[in-house]
Chain A
């Protein structure tokens, strides 16, 4: 993974010192709250419902054991012993004190981490396929490109005050596991006509109040032009994006108002005029950054392991976990293991300090000193020898981190909702917990098959409800929490926005409504069909009838 050089270290330390001074001036009354607020937000510090929340950037979801251990320490020392992993592959602490923030930022800087650009109208943490560098369907590791974009976008003078926040995701694999079509810019590494890898570029995707699936602005962009082309997209957005209405300020609105053809024309014209002089990355620098992401030296090993095969037969809970949470690796004899943060009864995405430290230890012992955060709010160990999988499982299982539900119904994405968030209209965590309890039986989840259930506590859609095969959105209707259900969303390659199925449900009725939807799917599906495939074949009517009655 990338390691800070002298410049990076100095830059982050200077920023910690600067914010320490700003906190001191706020506490001494030299800054008002109105003056302080934009400064703290630029450092990822929000004032939420119950307390301050600090959002820590985890660049493209990659963590070293030292970093994960430090996050655990920070949670224990300055928070309440746990943190929340987000759909931006970041970590949020919910209870930090303002007076402690400078110490927390200094502790983060010790392990090459910070909170810069985790808030504000700038380029946010670039996300990636969490299986990057390990997946067996990967054309090219996207992480070096994420790092290049991170360095380019950090305090970029032209793009630090955009009309609104800006999110980029990159995938280098056949399967999209980074929801790139729901980003302001989505990049997919593809093989070009000349046999060279480049980028398919999507633009204008997003969720929130007005969801859109990203549209293709370029089928193929040579890699060496990534920075200049993205600069042109951002420049057109920065010039023409709306600043008079926060709800219409994201690039998706501009792209859809202009139309993709006109937007492309404007971008291409800017690029044509500027790219020859723009900062396309020098080849030496590209190679330097690439070198940090050299694949670990993994010797091919036998793909079968006798102990694992035996355990699979004798232990059905292990067999279920193996089937869903252990994924093939590009090197034979290795696997990528999903460490589930979705145990029924647990807040989706929450990890205790103990759990963070344990996973840090396991990353050292079993995964070549690397851990990952998935945007679906799980942790991952990317490079585990198949022969070690059983031992790893036993340790995770003992700590409630081996629920075998990855990409099944129990693997819900869930925002903090009204239990923590100042923007939320309704709770999402208790609903997720109750649904998890209702579908706790692994056999039932297995019967249902792959299903993405996503839930948000407000229209801002941090819980990605628009892209859930089943999406739940909490709204406030005259003081009562009400939950709108949408069906048919999909975050993957054939991305789609879910369709609202009908009137909302009260909180206590939501689990039964999900049950009804699932029963309808099981009754209607043809052999081997996923929920999404059945939905696409039969449409909304059977689900509407089951939920609301005929007529």
Chain B
């Protein structure tokens, strides 16, 4: 199961993901995938540097699967985080889960 590394941006707390170019993106589809444990450790080390540089806080890796070319978090919690906003409309299950 591939992993991505997620965090909250320090200045505004918004959910972000580590991107292939070392930047942090709000879009999970643009996150860098780690296919192995070793690759995950590399991403975590990079994220640790970003934490020390005060770019992000609350860093952790999380498992995802690729469905039809789209990055899909495994847990409900992470799907909600990836959606960024979930409750403003009047529809049942605003975020399809």
Interface residues, chain A, with chain B CB atoms under 8 Å away: 26-27, 29, 33, 47-52, 97-99, 345-347, 418-420, 426-427, 429-430, 433-434, 437, 476, 479-481, 507
Contact = CB atoms under 8 A, between A and B. Distances in A.
Contacts of B75: 479
B81 A50 contact: yes
Interface of B: 8, 10-15, 51, 54, 57-58, 74-77, 80-81, 84-87, 90, 92-94
A94 to B, nearest CB: 10
Contacts of B76: 418, 426-427, 476, 479-481
A29 B12 contact: no
B87 A51 contact: no
B91 to A, nearest CB: 8
B93 A430 contact: yes
Contact of B13 (A50, A347, A481): A50
12 contacts: A49-B15, A51-B15, A97-B13, A98-B11, A418-B80, A420-B87, A426-B76, A427-B86, A429-B86, A430-B87, A434-B92, A480-B76
Contacts of B13: 47-48, 50-52, 97-98
Given A26-B54, A429-B86, 11 more contacts: A47-B58, A48-B13, A49-B80, A52-B12, A99-B12, A347-B87, A419-B80, A419-B86, A426-B76, A427-B86, A433-B90
Contacts of B12: 51-52, 97-99
Q: Which 8 A-B pairs have the closest CB atoms?
A: A345-B90, A97-B12, A51-B13, A52-B13, A419-B86, A419-B87, A429-B87, A99-B11
A49 B11 contact: no
B74 A479 contact: yes
Contacts of A27: 10-11, 54
A480 B12 CA distance: 30
Contacts of B87: 347, 419-420, 429-430
Contact of A47 (B54, B57, B80): B57
A97 B11 contact: yes
A426 B79 CA distance: 12
A51 B7 CA distance: 10
Given A430-B92, A430-B94, A481-B76, A51 B14 contact: yes
Nearest to A346: B90
Nearest to B57: A33
A50 B92 contact: no
Contacts of B10: 26-27, 98
Contacts of B81: 49-50
Contacts of A48: 13
Most A CB atoms within 10 A — which of B51, B58, B74, B93?
Answer: B93
